[in-house]
Amino acid sequence: MAPNRQPAGLRRPNDPPLLILVSLADGPKHGHALAKDIEGFAGVKLGPGALYGAITRLEERGLIEPLGSDDRRRPYRITSSGSAALAGALADMRRVAKAGLARLGLDGSLA
Amino acid sequence: MTPAEEPGSRREDPAVGKLLRWYPRQWRERYGEEFLAMVEDTLDGRRPTMRLRLSVAWGGLRERGRQAAVDWKEAAKRHDVYGRRWMIYVIGFFVTTLPADFRASLPPARAWQATAALGALAAFAAFIGAAVVAGGLAALPAMVRFLRGGGWRTIRRRVAWAAGATAVAGGMLTGLVLASRSQTFAQLNESWAYLLGVIVTSLALMVAIGLWISAAVATARHLHLSPRVRAAQMMLGAVTSIAVSVMLAVNIIWWSAIQSSVLLLLLGTTGLAVLIPAATMKMRRAVRSGKRLRRTVTR
Q: How many domains does chain A have?
A: 1
**B38 to chain A: nearest residue by CA?**
A32
Query: Is B233 domain-assigned?
Result: yes
**What distance lies between CA A105 and its chain's CA centroid?**
28
Q: How far is CA B244 from each of CA A51, B19, B85, B99, B152, rounded to the nearest angstrom?
A: 40, 39, 11, 20, 30
Query: Is A107 domain-assigned?
Result: no
Q: Is A36 on the interface with B (CB under 8 A)?
A: no
pTM, to two decimals: 0.48
All residues of chain A having their beta carbon less than 8 Å from the beta carbon of residue B57 are 49
CA distance B55 to chain A (A): 5
How many CB atoms sit inside 10 A of residue B174's CB?
Answer: 12
**Domain identity same for B189 and B266:** yes
Query: Is A50 domain-assigned?
Result: yes
Span A51-98, pLDDT tens digits: 999 999 999 989 999 998 778 889 999 999 999 999 999 998 888 888
Choose from B9, B18, B27, B41 for mutation: most chain A CBs within 10 A: B41
- Count residue pairs from A and B with Cβ separation < 8 A: 61
**Domain identity same for B158 and B285:** yes
Per-residue pLDDT of chain B (299 residues; tens, 9 = 90+): 334 444 345 555 677 778 888 898 889 988 988 999 888 888 887 888 888 888 888 889 989 888 877 776 766 655 444 445 666 667 777 777 777 777 666 677 777 887 888 888 888 888 888 888 888 888 888 888 888 888 888 888 889 999 999 999 999 989 888 888 777 777 777 788 888 888 888 888 888 888 888 788 778 778 887 778 888 888 888 888 888 888 888 888 888 887 788 888 888 888 888 888 888 888 888 888 777 776 765 55
- Which of B228, B64, B89, B6 has its CA nearest to residue A69? B6
All residues of chain B having their beta carbon less than 8 Å from the beta carbon of residue A35 are 38, 42
Contacts of B104 by beta carbon, 8 Å cutoff, 6+ apart: B185, B258
**Domain identity same for B15 and B136:** no
Instruction: Provide the domain limits for residue B30.
Output: 3-62
What amino acid is encoded at A3 in this protein?
A: P
Query: Is A8 domain-assigned?
Result: no
Contacts of B95 by beta carbon, 8 Å cutoff, 6+ apart: B173, B202, B205
What amino acid is encoded at B186 in this protein?
A: A
Query: Is B186 domain-assigned?
Result: yes
B38 and A35 within 8 Å at the Cβ level: the answer is yes
